[in-house]
């Protein structure tokens, strides 16, 4: 996909700030196109802010109702089978996944207008007017996150597929088998086909929207990460003009404005998604633990085991990408400090040296994404989640073997 247009074709470019750059060609990079796929997916379901029609409104209400209904019926099953550890653990892992998904979805629905603000912010020439080298930074990072998104979507597809096939391939269970254990106010065996299709549709819609929100956030983080790389690049480029004091001053002022814009952007992204991610992290501990426990007590040769294995991979992948991209953002924002020290600051004027000190002080604290101001999105948090999951898994295993 082509994300940019050329804003000049000569070796000497006049920027919007009024000074000339002769070392590279500027391009206008359409940053909002980087998450156009996620916008289409969310718009198709009626969740992206914009012009709504009757079709989108109907789909929106239908998705909310079927996903909420699934949670209610699984929680009813949990309440009835509370004393049965095997059935309880099997149903709880679906319930916790659904709670995390609906929390993210409702949080997004409440704050989705922030996406319009983010698009307006990213359309500012402050962000879009970049050099060809800086454009390549964007392209490489977006290509990388798109490959990760592709793998994630494939995992989700196979998880839905296996849970759809499981009722027909399971020969160990007597009677009619359903993809998800639920308690209905009627006998589902009398309406097996509609109930089966409703459960599979619910799983498919949940996997589709859940993965879309996850990927949407990761792309937003990647955009922020790329911008910090570009900021480091901009600061490094000032060393070519360090003895031209007036030009250096303009370049440094531009870097300060760019950094202020980056802080506003990342703050808005955190406000938009952090509450839902907080619930996701809390539920992920239980889901990973319960899925591992179910895999322990089910025969390895069974179809259900492979279904749980793919499901487990999806859950691990989901929490890992949040922490991984949060870690990358933190590292790239922290690297701006190093970029300040690498330029020939001793050749600058006293005024520009003071400005450099100001920039160093402002970028000294790295940008850290947080979930509800509590969980930091980094690899340390990922390890805490895995350790907590294993601890609860060990407790469940001990209780099960001693029953």
Residue-level pLDDT at 109: 94
Rounded to 10 degrees, what is the CA torsion of 87, 91, 96, 101?
170
Query: Where does the pLDDT of residue 78 fall: very low under 50, low under 70, confident under 90, or very high at 90 and above?
Result: very high
Alpha-carbon span 215 to 149, nearest angstrom: 6
Coil vs helix vs strand at 26: strand
Give the residue from 338, 323, 327 showing the smallest Cα distance to 225: 327
Alpha-carbon span 306 to 30, nearest angstrom: 42
Express each pLDDT in 33-60 by its tens digit. 999 999 999 999 989 987 667 888 899 9
- Quote the tokens at residue 281: 């992290």
Cβ-contact 367, 333 below 8 angstroms: yes
Q: What is the mean pLDDT of residues 214-220?
A: 97
Alpha-carbon span 165 to 179, nearest angstrom: 8
Cβ-contact 207, 179 below 8 angstroms: no
The overall pTM is greater than 0.85: yes
Express each pLDDT in 90-141 by its tens digit. 899 899 999 999 999 999 999 999 999 999 999 999 999 888 888 999 999 9
Cβ-contact 167, 60 below 8 angstroms: no
Give the residue from 177, 163, 170 showing the smallest Cα distance to 207: 163
Say how many Å lie between the first and final Cα of the chain, rounded: 58
């Amino acid at each position: 996909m082509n994300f940019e247009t050329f804003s000049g074709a000569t070796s000497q470019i006049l920027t919007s700030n009024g000074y000339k750059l002769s070392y590279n060609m500027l391009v206008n990079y359409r940053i909002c196109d980087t998450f156009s796929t996620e916008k289409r997916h969310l718009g198709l379901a009626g969740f992206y802010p914009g012009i709504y029609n009757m079709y989108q409104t109907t789909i929106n209400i239908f998705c909310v109702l079927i996903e909420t209904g699934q949670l209610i019926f699984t929680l009813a099953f949990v309440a009835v089978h509370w004393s049965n550890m095997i059935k309880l653990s099997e149903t709880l892992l679906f319930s916790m996944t659904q709670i995390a998904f609906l929390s993210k979805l409702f949080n997004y629905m409440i704050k989705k207008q922030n996406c319009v603000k983010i698009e307006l912010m990213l359309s500012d020439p402050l962000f879009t007017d970049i050099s060809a080298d800086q454009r390549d930074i964007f392209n490489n990072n977006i290509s990388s996150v798109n490959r990760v998104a592709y793998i994630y979507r494939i995992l989700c597809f196979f998880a839905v597929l296996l849970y759809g096939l499981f009722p027909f391939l399971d020969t160990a269970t007597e009677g009619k088998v359903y993809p998800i254990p639920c308690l209905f106010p009627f006998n589902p065996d009398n309406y097996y086909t509609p109930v089966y299709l409703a459960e599979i549709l619910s799983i498919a819609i949940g996997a589709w929207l859940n993965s879309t929100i996850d990927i949407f956030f990761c792309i937003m983080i990647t955009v922020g990460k790329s911008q910090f790389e570009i900021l480091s690049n901009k600061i490094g480029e000032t060393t070519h003009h360090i003895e031209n004091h007036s030009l250096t001053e303009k370049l440094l002022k531009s870097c300060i404005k760019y950094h202020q814009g980056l802080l506003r952007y990342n703050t808005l992204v955190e406000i938009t998604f952090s509450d839902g991610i907080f619930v996701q992290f809390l539920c992920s501990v239980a889901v990973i633990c319960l899925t591992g426990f179910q895999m322990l007590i089910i025969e390895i040769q069974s179809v259900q085991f492979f279904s749980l294995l793919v499901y487990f991979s999806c859950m691990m992948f989901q929490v890992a990408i949040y922490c991984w991209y949060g870690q990358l953002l933190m590292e790239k924002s922290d690297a701006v400090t190093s970029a300040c020290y690498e330029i020939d600051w001793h050749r600058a004027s006293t005024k520009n040296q003071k400005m450099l000190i100001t920039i160093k002080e402002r970028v000294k604290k790295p940008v850290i994404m947080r979930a509800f101001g509590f969980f930091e999105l980094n690899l340390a948090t990922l390890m805490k989640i895995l350790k907590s999951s294993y601890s609860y898994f060990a407790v469940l295993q001990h209780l099960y073997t001693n029953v």
